[in-house]
């Protein structure tokens, strides 16, 4: 077997400093190494042109390498000071929002040209939909406990109780959140240090990632923008649980936040995997209610700790409005027909269409049974009829329910990040619907699916981008396909 040629520019595992020169889709900054062997590209996620960064090389090939961001050594000239604590979940918070929009639009359209083979994508572009709230827009946050902290002065990890987020580039090291991050509820985040102090005073240990032991694991918070209430979930192991008074902790939260506290849940997670909700653990209500109510486009939705719900509800209203506008653009293809809402989640889009269309039957399908249960309850609560939900794999459903196939003229698609499985996409194409409204949280997989849709006789009529997650690389796309 021939010996693999050693990369002449970088080695896997090597830590290097590199200047970021360009921006690629998905928040990947492009740096270049130049030496006597020529020029070599290194992609570093969550970086910006103009930044000097420290990165560890994770993957190498003949043409390029991929690194993991450890630290920004020098800011870009485009960045501005912000009053918020910098966290890994908001890598671009110091970049003016207009610049963020420019990078997102340019890189997404390039992606559709390159992967989707849509040469005239600029001509199809409809609108860049901005988030109504640029800051404090999230309705859910997960804060992790760790027995290993980070000393920013000494630039090394230390043994200490932390509550916040992982230190950028590490899986074992926590970093205290000491003030508002600019993403979630400011009052809550400014008081997180008091919650940490309460937990420290119990003398119970935080989770130690390398040893996979400890008591405190996560503190998860959901917020309702309709009621301004907070729903808490404390995640611990069962070890030492008798020593922790959950009712006293609930009282402490009420002292801090008063009637903003909707409820406190407690989750036991003894698994070694790094997840908030364990497959084998239990979740119980300690205080108050186990749900909060949110409003989207005059419809009410009950949200539990496990429910999937849009993280930026104010922007989700704009996203859903765009989807419904595209769906109802040709109202004849919706009224008195069956609209298929595939990968429907909690059924929000289907409910809004049913509310606005005439004599339309909405058939929603999703593989997550809990989401379908929520969808049925939400439809009942909002008094919307003409909806039928199925908990099933989309591909399997399309094979097993031929009764709907001849009546479908419009299909809504909102798959997970992985996009649509090729076999399922084939079945969707075979339904021969006149129109598809395809919503995606990962334009790379949507662009891949676009090539197949176009080869099957569909063309893009219009496309919009929706900035659901300011200060991150994420962008949502809404594309209207027609035969």
pLDDT of 211? 95
- Residue 166 and residue 99: Cα distance in Å, rounded? 27
- Paired tokens of 262: 């909707």
Residues 103-127 have a mean pLDDT of: 95
pLDDT tens-digit readout, 255-299: 999 999 999 999 999 998 887 776 777 899 999 999 999 998 888
Q: Is 414 flagged in the annotation as binding?
A: yes
Q: How many residues does the chain have?
A: 483
Which helix or strand (DSSP H or E) is residue 28 part of?
Answer: strand 28-35
Tokens of 464: 């919009």
| 325 assigned ligand-binding residue | no
Q: Which residues are catalytic?
A: 441
Pick the CATH number of 14-79 from 2.40.50.140, 3.40.50.300, 3.60.130.10, 3.40.50.2000: 2.40.50.140
Q: How confident is the model at residue 1 (pLDDT cuts 50, 70, 90)?
A: very low
Query: Residue 234: enclosing H or E segment and its boundaries?
Result: strand 230-236
- The residue written with tokens 């429910």 in the block is 307
Q: Give the pairing type, strands 174-176 and 408-413.
A: unpaired
CATH 3.40.50.150 fits 102-133+312-482, yes or no: yes
The secondary element (H helix, E strand) that includes residue 424 is helix 422-430
The pLDDT score that the predictor gives to residue 78 is 94
pLDDT digits (tens, 9 = 90+) for 213-247: 999 999 999 999 999 999 999 999 999 999 999 99
341 assigned binding-site residue: no
> What mean pLDDT is predicted for residues 346-353?
90
Answer yes or no: is pLDDT of 155 > 90.
Answer: no
What span, in angstroms and rounded, lies between the C-alpha atoms of 425 and 395? 8
335 in a labelled binding site: no
Rounded to an integer, what distance in angstroms lies between the CA atom of residue 253 and that of residue 195? 8
pLDDT band of residue 170 (cuts 50, 70, 90) is confident
Distance between CA atoms of 180 and 169, rounded to whole angstroms? 21
pTM: 0.90
Instruction: Please report the pLDDT score of residue 16 as a whole number.
Output: 93
Q: Give the per-residue pLDDT at 35.
A: 86
188: left (phi over 0), alpha (psi -120 to 50) or beta: alpha
- Angle (deg, nearest 10), helices 246-257 and 192-200: 150
Matching fold, domains 14-79 and 102-133+312-482 = no
CA dist 469 and 476 (Å) reads 9
Which tens digit of pLDDT belongs to each residue from 59-101? 998 889 999 998 899 999 999 999 999 999 999 999 999 999 9
Please give the pLDDT value at position 124: 97
Task: Please report the beta strands in 291-358, taking only residues with DSSP state E, as ranges in sequence order.
Answer: 291-296, 299-304, 338-342
pLDDT, tens only, 320-340: 999 999 999 888 878 888 899
Beta-bridge mates of residue 452: none
Q: Which has more confidence, 403 or 1?
A: 403
pLDDT above 90 for 200: yes
CA atoms within 13 Å, Cβ hemisphere of 151: 8
| φ, ψ of residue 52 in degrees (nearest 5) | -100, 125
Alpha-carbon distances, residue 277 vs 236, 367, 469 (angstroms): 10, 19, 23
pLDDT of 120 strictly over 70: yes
Contacts of 412 (CB under 8 A, 6+ apart): 323, 327, 339, 340, 341, 342, 344, 349, 350, 353, 436, 437, 439
Residue corresponding to tokens 């610049």: 99
Average pLDDT, the chain: 92
Q: Is the pLDDT of residue 416 over 50?
A: yes
Alpha-carbon distances of 21 from 208, 324, 339, 390, 398, rounded to whole Å: 38, 39, 46, 48, 47
Q: pLDDT tens, 359-371?
A: 888 999 999 898 8
Q: Does domain 140-296 have CATH number 3.90.1580.10?
A: no
Domain ranges of the chain: 14-79, 102-133+312-482, 140-296
């Amino acid at each position: 077997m021939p010996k693999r040629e050693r990369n002449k520019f970088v080695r896997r595992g090597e830590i290097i400093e590199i200047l970021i020169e360009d921006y690629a889709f998905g928040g990947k900054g492009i740096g270049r190494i130049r030496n006597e062997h020529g020029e070599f590209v290194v992609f570093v996620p969550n970086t910006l042109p103009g930044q000097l960064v420290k990165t560890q090389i994770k993957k190498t090939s003949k043409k390029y390498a991929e690194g993991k961001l450890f630290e920004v050594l020098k800011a870009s000239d485009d960045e501005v000071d912000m009053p918020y604590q910098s966290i890994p979940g908001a890598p671009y918070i110091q970049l003016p929002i207009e610049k963020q929009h420019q990078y997102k639009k340019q890189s997404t359209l390039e992606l559709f040209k390159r992967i989707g083979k849509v040469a005239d994508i600029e001509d199809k572009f409809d609108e860049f939909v901005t988030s109504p709230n640029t800051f404090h827009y999230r309705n859910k946050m997960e804060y992790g406990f760790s027995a290993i902290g980070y000393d920013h002065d000494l630039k090394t990890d230390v043994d200490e109780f932390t509550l916040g987020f992982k230190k950028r580039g590490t899986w074992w090291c926590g970093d205290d959140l000491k003030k508002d991050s600019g993403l979630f509820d400011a009052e809550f985040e400014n008081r997180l240090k008091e919650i940490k102090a309460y937990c420290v005073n119990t003398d119970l240990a935080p989770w130690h990632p390398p040893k996979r032991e400890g008591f405190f694991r996560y503190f998860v918070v959901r917020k309702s923008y309709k009621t301004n209430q907070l729903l808490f979930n404390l995640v611990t192991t069962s070890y030492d649980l008798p020593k922790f008074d959950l009712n006293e902790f609930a009282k402490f939260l009420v002292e801090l936040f008063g009637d903003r506290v909707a409820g406190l849940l407690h989750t036991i997670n003894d698994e070694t995997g790094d997840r908030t909700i364990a497959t084998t653990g239990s979740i119980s209500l300690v205080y108050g209610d186990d749900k909060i109510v949110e409003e989207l486009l005059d419809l009410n939705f009950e949200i539990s700790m496990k429910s999937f719900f849009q993280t930026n509800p104010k922007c989700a209203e704009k996203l859903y409005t765009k989807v419904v506008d595209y769906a109802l653009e040709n109202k004849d293809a919706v009224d008195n027909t069956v609209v298929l809402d595939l990968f429907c989640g909690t059924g929000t889009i289907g409910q809004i269409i049913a509310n606005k269309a005439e004599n339309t039957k909405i058939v929603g399908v999703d593989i997550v049974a809990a989401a379908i249960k929520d969808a049925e309850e939400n439809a009942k609560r909002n008094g919307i009829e003409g909806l039928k939900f199925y908990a099933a794999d989309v591909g399997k459903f399309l094979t097993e329910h031929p009764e709907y196939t001849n009546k479908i003229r419009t299909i809504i698609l909102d798959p997970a990040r992985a996009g649509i499985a090729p076999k399922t996409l084939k079945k969707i194409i075979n339904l021969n619907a006149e129109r598809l409204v395809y919503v995606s949280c990962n334009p790379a997989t949507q662009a891949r699916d676009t090539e197949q849709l176009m080869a099957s006789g569909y063309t893009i009529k219009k496309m919009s981008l929706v900035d659901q997650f300011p200060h991150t690389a994420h962008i949502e796309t809404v594309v209207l396909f027609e035969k």
